[in-house]
Amino acid sequence: MKVSGKATVDRTKPPKSGSPGRVSFPKYFEKKYVNGFKIFVVENHQLPIVTVGFVSRGGAAFDGRLPGLGSITCELLTKGTKRRSATRIAEEIDFVGGALSHTASWDASQLFVSVLKTHLAVGFDVLQDVILTPTFPPQEIKRVKAQRVASIQQLKADPGYLADTRFAAVVFGEHPYGQTVAGTEESIAAMRRGDFVLFHKDFFTPDNSFMVFAGDITPKEAERYVSKSFSKWKGKHKPVEIARPDQVSLDGKVHVANKPGAVQSALRVGHLGVARSNPDYLKLFVMNTLLGGYFSSRMNMNLREVHGYTYGSRTSFDARILPGTFEVSADVRNEVTAETIDQILNELRRIRDTNPSKDEMTMVKNYLTGLFPIQLETPQQVAGRVVAIELYGLPKNYYREYREKIRKVTAKDIRSVARKYIQPENIAIVLSGAAGEIAGKLGKFGEVEISSPGDGTHAGQRNANSKPGAEN
């Protein structure tokens, strides 16, 4: 197209995409001390900020008879030490403009401190204090327990939480993964100070923990901090064996957590998934993204764009140290609940029975390889990947080869892993909604079992403190 004799861009045609830029996962420092404690250092001197993350391999999977024990123990670490009260801990971090946080998952308990480089000595001293010398003050235990119970009571009004709890109970049964990270009202009431002390003693040991420094710090500087507190840290972890969850034949029922008055059904469809260390994980990750892991996925296009059943749907593999779940989730109008389940099962069969098109493969691989550099923009993001490598025993070069391996995934690979790991014939169908309005149409999928929030459905995947994000 020419205007006044000058060549211009033809706006009627989309521009061609350029070649993807070179992105490499940064190198990082690693050291293991005699006592088994490991440190990792991710250097980035662009900003004068340092984040230090501590990871204990003690998560909710080890809660035993007291669901929520690991999560509350982790929270209580910041509520009092031999040298500091909870108030003093908060004041010291706030005074230097820092942040101290904690999080617990199925696989680990983590604490982080982030401060300006000039205040790292203060931040690190507080961090090592809460890790090594917590006192679990009775008044703080009482307050944290009360807050947690109130949070759980609020969550019980959330149809999504009710569906999540019932879904995990159906898939895992009596396995620890059938419990909740956050706990239950009953388990929290039963916890005593000695339970927290023992959990800390058993799992917060040098040979069961590691630390990641990220930001404006060198390995030598990190070693100086660690040598004062953690290099001579004593204690031995006694391994606790957790049985691998079995892929069992599900009961064929449709489980409805009754939520009278709800205008939508919170729908969960799925079954046992895979462990994070599964050698097929990266192919599964691509397959899941294509199926329901991003906006242009098959599941979302079907349920949202074609049929208008929902504002959005997604599929996910919640991969942990042991196999987690594969799950399809969507919130749909009551009157189309049964039709939505039909379409979900159709999409699960289609991903198994037909190869994706060339355009689908190009789109999903461009999306994943293009997204990856954005996920490495900060030292903290890189540190998160280092934590994943160490926690799940991934190859050291996993993220350096990530984009290249994504590009090599074929349509045949997608169909192969779908046939291996997607099982529409052995699936749990769970939903929370107004049973009186939706149950009548669900019988074609199996016997309908209706429960109420007070029926003792004890399991769950959602943490009252945090919402899990995507993991690649």
pLDDT band at 459 (very low <50, low <70, confident <90, very high): very low
**pLDDT over threshold 50, residue 88:** yes
d(CA 164, CA 318): 12
pLDDT band at 227 (very low <50, low <70, confident <90, very high): very high
**pLDDT over threshold 70, residue 470:** no
Identify the pLDDT of residue 463: 39
**pLDDT over threshold 90, residue 296:** yes
Mean pLDDT along residues 413-442: 96
Identify the pLDDT of residue 20: 62
Calculate the alpha carbon distances from 147 to 72, 79, 144, 153 in Å.
11, 14, 5, 10
Contact 79, 144 (CB under 8 A): yes
Mean pLDDT along residues 253-268: 94
Mean pLDDT along residues 210-227: 97
- Name the nearest CA neighbour of 216 among 30, 39, 48: 48
> pTM for this structure?
0.89
**pLDDT over threshold 60, residue 461:** no
**pLDDT over threshold 90, residue 268:** yes
Contact 446, 253 (CB under 8 A): yes
d(CA 143, CA 404): 50
d(CA 389, CA 395): 7
Average pLDDT, the chain: 92
Identify the pLDDT of residue 5: 55
Contacts of residue 407, defined as CB under 8 A and 6 or more positions apart, other chains included, come to 365, 369
- Name the nearest CA neighbour of 152 among 424, 469, 467, 465: 465
Q: What is the CATH number of domain 254-451?
A: 3.30.830.10
**pLDDT over threshold 70, residue 3:** no
Q: Tens digits of per-residue pLDDT, 61-79?
A: 999 999 999 999 999 999 9
pLDDT band at 166 (very low <50, low <70, confident <90, very high): very high
d(CA 200, CA 194): 10
**pLDDT over threshold 70, residue 218:** yes
d(CA 344, CA 351): 11
d(CA 284, CA 364): 13
Please list the residue range(s) of the chain that carry CATH number 3.30.830.10.
29-229, 254-451
Identify the pLDDT of residue 454: 54
Paired tokens of 207: 């040979």
Phi, psi of 451, rounded to the nearest 5 degrees: -130, 160
What single letter denotes the amino acid at residue 71? S
Mean pLDDT along residues 319-336: 97
d(CA 364, CA 411): 11
- Which of these CATH numbers, 3.40.50.2000, 3.30.830.10, 3.40.640.10, 3.30.70.340, describes 29-229? 3.30.830.10
Mean pLDDT along residues 286-308: 98
In the block, tokens 């630390």 appear at 211
Paired tokens of 26: 């940064």
d(CA 346, CA 208): 44
Cα–Cα–Cα angle for 212, 216, 230, nearest 5°? 35
Identify the pLDDT of residue 318: 96
